[in-house]
Amino acid sequence: MRTDAQISDQKPHQSLPWQPVLAALANEYAMKVYARQVLIDTPAGMAETGVPYPVDARERQALNRLVAVGLLDPDTFLPIPGALARVLAANATPKREGIERFFESGMLTRLPMNAAQRLEVLEHLAQRLIPTETDLAELDINRLLATVTRDIPTLRRALVDHGLLLRNVEGSRYRSPSHSFGS
Q: Kindly report, residue by residue over 151-172, the tens digit of the pLDDT.
A: 999 999 999 999 999 999 998 9
Residue 173 has pLDDT above 90, yes or no: yes
How does residue 76 score in pLDDT terms, banded at 50, 70 and 90?
Answer: confident
Higher pLDDT: 60 or 40? It is 60
77 Ramachandran zone, left/alpha/beta (phi>0; psi -120 to 50)? left
- Domains in the chain (CATH in brackets) are 4-90 (no CATH), 98-175 (1.10.10)
Where do runs of H (alpha helix) occur along 69-183?
83-90, 115-129, 138-145, 152-161
Residue 18, pLDDT score: 83
Residue 175, pLDDT score: 92
How does residue 91 score in pLDDT terms, banded at 50, 70 and 90?
Answer: confident
